[in-house]
A = this chain, B = another copy of it.
Amino acid sequence: MQKIITAVLAAALIGGAAYHFKVLRSNFVIADQGSFMAGGTVLHHTGKYTSPYSPDGQTFHGDHAYVFWQKPFKARKYPLVFIHGIGQFSKTFETTPDGRDGFQNIFLKKRFAVYLVDQARRGRAGRSTEKATVEPVFDEQLWFDRFRIGTYPNYFDGVQFKQGKETLGQFFRQMTPNIGRQDFNVYADAYAAVLEKTGDAILVTHSQGGAVGWLTARKTDKIKAIVSYEPGGSFPFVKDENPTAMKAESGQGETVEIT
């Protein structure tokens, strides 16, 4: 009878556990998620505040980064902080233009906390302390080439990018303009402020974000590692170890000597 009890109990526990793990495995189980802005500066208009309808004494907060974060159930030790590249925003790491999971979902399922950031003066962090004129620029076919989908209008053989108008439209629409002058120091200052909120973390950078990531590493001690995909922009090297600049199609292969 002892055996029967044990067997029935085991069957019940295995059945319950199987359902439990099926739920955990087939869903994103997120302990918490939220958003915040980090870093940036505050401009103060001259004069004394007297009325909401006069600029006198009013403020303008800008040049911060925006962060949406998700921490999974039983998260790993270090979160991933994603740094996008030129022309895009955090969408780089979300759903792909053809609807597959991006790094956000892939790494959440691998139990990494993920911090998706829009750099200062881009996307949700569009509140810039500098005046900017933004207009439609007819250069989408350049980005088709530059992101190595193919040589427009031809796709590379075997490219992992679903061919068709719908996917290409999603890809073009995931670009968004700079609001204000490009300034790596402004971006890196804001990312360093993000790291003050995350604590020790791993940076995952893409393209021009490579240069921004390395610059950020000089402004905070919270970066435990940097994973850089297709890094563009300037490459920092210690003085006297600075190699000859590489030639890049984008013209951005130079190195920067640091001391």
CA distance A59 to B90 in the complex (A): 23
Given A29-B23, A172-B61, the answer on whether A55 and B133 have CB atoms closer than 8 Å is: no
What total of chain A residues lie within 8 Å of the partner, measured CB to CB?
Answer: 88
When all copies of this chain in the complex are counted, the total is 2
CB-based contact B9/A127 at 8 Å: no
In the complex, what's the smallest C-beta–C-beta distance from A91 to chain B, in angstroms? 6
Cβ contacts under 8 Å, A43 to chain B: 136, 138
- The A contact surface, by secondary structure, is mixed
Q: Is the CB of B139 within 8 A of A55?
A: yes
> In chain B, what residue has the closest Cβ to A19?
B20
Given contacts A23-B24, A134-B179, contact A37 B139 (CB under 8 A): no
A88 to nearest B CB, angstroms?
Answer: 10
Is A112's CB within 8 Å of the partner chain B? Answer: no
Residues in B neighbouring A145, C-beta threshold 8 A:
52
Contacts of A60 in B (CB 8 A): 136-138, 140, 172
